Amino acid sequence: MKKCFFFLLIVLGSVLSCKQEAPSAEDAVMQQAQQYYQSLLKGEYDAFLSGIDGADSLPADYREQLMANTCQFVDVQQQQRGGMVSVEAIRAVIDSTATTHADAFLLICFGDSTREEVVVPMVERQGKWLMR
């Protein structure tokens, strides 16, 4: 029964995706930046770090240091603001002189009801948007 339901969802998703237009470059930037920050919400720090341009070629000890810094950042946000509760992509601006560079604007909501807008510089590498 579960296999049939799963198969039906896949078929339905495929049919619906065929009718949708490809996302704009700005939408792709926003979605990718939001996905990286949502990985922080889920505690998936390795996924967040993998979204950094050049992360795949970092020395292991430096990557471990970045991981520790990421964990510390999340802990501080938890203690001071009740943690990150949600992340919403607001807009993206692609650099008109270098279309492989963009800024994604995200709205981060915290547990203490404060909100903060952050700018995430992004770069396109082999068709994928990564954080600079």
**DSSP string covering 4-45, please?**
HHHHHHHHHHHHHHHHSPPPPHHHHHHHHHHHHHHHHHTT-H
Q: What is the pLDDT of residues 8-37, one digit of tens each?
A: 345 445 545 555 566 799 999 999 999 999
State both tokens at 29.
């930037």
Q: What is the pLDDT of residues 79-120, one digit of tens each?
A: 999 999 999 999 999 998 888 999 999 999 999 999 999 999
Core vs surface per residue 54-86: b (16+ CB within 10 A) or e: ebeeeeeeebeebeeebeeebeebeeebebbee
Q: What is the pLDDT of residues 54-84, one digit of tens each?
A: 998 999 999 999 999 999 999 999 999 999 9
